[in-house]
């Protein structure tokens, strides 16, 4: 594992006699880097850990204190905690490709090892709050069309299992050490947070569509057009990354442990997403229908009632805004080449 390399400086506002300092694991990634930017803008001090396996160092706000290293390196994690006063932790760090998780469980077990090292360091340093980037993958193939937090968890891939295992770890540490946690279960994250992020290994539908638009792929393949939906394609709940980040920051104020879904409760089919993208960017996008993928439910929508009640949160960005911001990010990157 890599040893830690540090750079950056602190900025922040006074809260009482001290500054609120947040450690963000995976802070150079898609969601993490936007969270870092937003926290610093709000006056927090931010410490970032990232192994840069997919994260991009240039996206990390220069006011953050950056450590290049891996959560699975126990000595490195302990060094970061020993060198900084930390008030809370947000953990985005994880491998996330569903298909790869079923081929390389050894690699994806690092998601669990990293969480154990984080929690142990929190206990050692008396840090009482962690916000966790979880996933709708913990539900597997749910029975309901709109899923609330009481839906049974039954992951059908190893990635989903690692997310659920980390939730279980936090629950046990909460019972034993009285730390508080908030597990935020995302549905389909989309949009750009103002950093012109381009996914280096696109796995999600909107980045894949953008790779077609900008010539990296010949066409989009829509997996299945015979589902019992409005047009035969799967319906998903898309949430803007900026709305997602807002929820993480609100969760820093929680006084009790919670598991909370994050979504809009509104669904769009894959074909509707494609058609809306064509409308927004005013370009044709070649596509074809392929066979269904194993394990794809027809509908996957989040109930966000608990997020509204507990966090005082609700999504603000529209699907068109998600598409436009993503397109502009990819366009900007293409112009740099």
Which residue, 226, 210, 237, is CA-closest to 292?
A: 226
Percent of the residues in the chain that have a pLDDT greater than 90, as a whole number: 85
Cβ proximity of 189 and 239 under 8 Å: yes
Tell me 307's DSSP state. Answer: I
What pLDDT is recorded for position 16?
39
pLDDT of residue 318: 95
pLDDT of res. 337: 52
User: Tens of pLDDT along 64-75?
Assistant: 999 999 999 999
**pLDDT at residue 261, rounded to an integer:** 97
* Mean predicted lDDT score pLDDT of the chain: 92
The reported pTM is: 0.91
**Secondary structure (3-state) at 100:** helix
Give the catalytic positions in this structure: 159
Report H helices in the chain.
30-41, 74-83, 98-101, 105-108, 110-124, 158-177, 205-213, 241-251, 270-281, 305-306, 319-336
Convert the pLDDT of each residue in 226-280 to its tens digit.
Answer: 999 999 999 999 999 999 999 999 999 999 999 999 999 999 999 999 999 999 9
Does residue 3 register a pLDDT over 90?
no
Q: What is the pLDDT, as a whole number, of residue 336?
A: 53
Query: What integer is the mean pLDDT of 160-181?
Result: 98
pLDDT 10s digits, 279-298: 999 999 999 999 998 888 89
Looking at domain 5-190+238-263, its CATH superfamily turns out to be NAD(P)-binding Rossmann-like Domain (3.40.50.720)
End-to-end CA distance of the chain: give it in Å, rounded: 32
201: tokens are 């290994």
> 270-282 as b/e, with b when 16 or more CB fall inside 10 Å?
bbbbbebbbebbe
Q: Is the pLDDT of residue 309 over 90?
A: yes
The average pLDDT across 89-111 equals 95
Express each pLDDT in 228-237 by its tens digit: 999 999 999 9
Taken in order 85, 90, 96, 98, the sign of the CA dihedral is positive
How many other C-beta atoms are found inside a 10 Å radius of the C-beta of residue 254?
17
Distance from C-alpha of 258 to C-alpha of 235, rounded to nearest angstrom: 27
Q: Which of these, 120, 132, 128, lies nearest to 77 by C-alpha position? A: 120
Indicate the DSSP class of residue 58. Answer: G
């Amino acid at each position: 594992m890599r040893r830690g390399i540090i750079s950056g400086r602190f900025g922040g506002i006074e809260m009482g006699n001290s500054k609120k300092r947040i450690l963000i694991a995976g802070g150079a990634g898609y969601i993490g880097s936007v969270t870092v930017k937003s926290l610093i803008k709000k006056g927090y001090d931010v410490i970032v850990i990232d192994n840069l396996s997919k994260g991009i160092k240039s996206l990390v706000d220069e006011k953050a204190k950056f450590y290049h290293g891996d959560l699975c390196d126990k000595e490195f994690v302990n060094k970061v905690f020993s060198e900084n006063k930390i008030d809370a932790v947000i953990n985005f760090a994880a491998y996330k490709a569903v298909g790869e998780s079923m081929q390389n469980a050894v690699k994806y077990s690092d998601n669990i090892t990293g969480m154990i090292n984080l929690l142990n360091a929190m206990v050692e340093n008396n840090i009482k709050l962690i916000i966790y980037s979880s996933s709708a993958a913990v539900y597997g193939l749910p029975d309901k069309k709109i899923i609330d937090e009481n839906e049974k968890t039954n992951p059908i891939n190893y990635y989903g299992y690692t997310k659920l295992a980390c939730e279980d770890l936090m629950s046990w540490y909460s019972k034993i050490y009285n730390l508080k946690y908030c597990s935020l279960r995302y549905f389909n994250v989309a949009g750009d947070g103002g950093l012109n992020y381009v996914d280096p290994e696109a796995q999600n539908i909107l980045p894949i569509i953008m790779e077609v638009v900008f010539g990296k792929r010949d066409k989009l393949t829509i997996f299945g057009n015979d589902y019992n939906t409005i047009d035969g394609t799967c319906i998903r709940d898309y949430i803007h990354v900026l709305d997602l980040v807002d929820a993480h920051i609100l969760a820093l104020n929680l006084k009790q442990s919670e598991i909370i879904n994050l979504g809009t409760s509104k669904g769009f089919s894959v074909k509707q997403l494609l058609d809306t993208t064509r409308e927004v960017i005013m370009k044709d996008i070649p596509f074809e229908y392929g066979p269904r993928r194993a394990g794809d439910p027809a509908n996957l929508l989040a109930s966000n009632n608990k997020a509204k009640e507990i966090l005082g949160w609700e999504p603000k960005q529209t699907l068109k805004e998600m598409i436009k911001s993503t397109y502009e990010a990819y366009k900007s990157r293409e112009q740099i080449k």
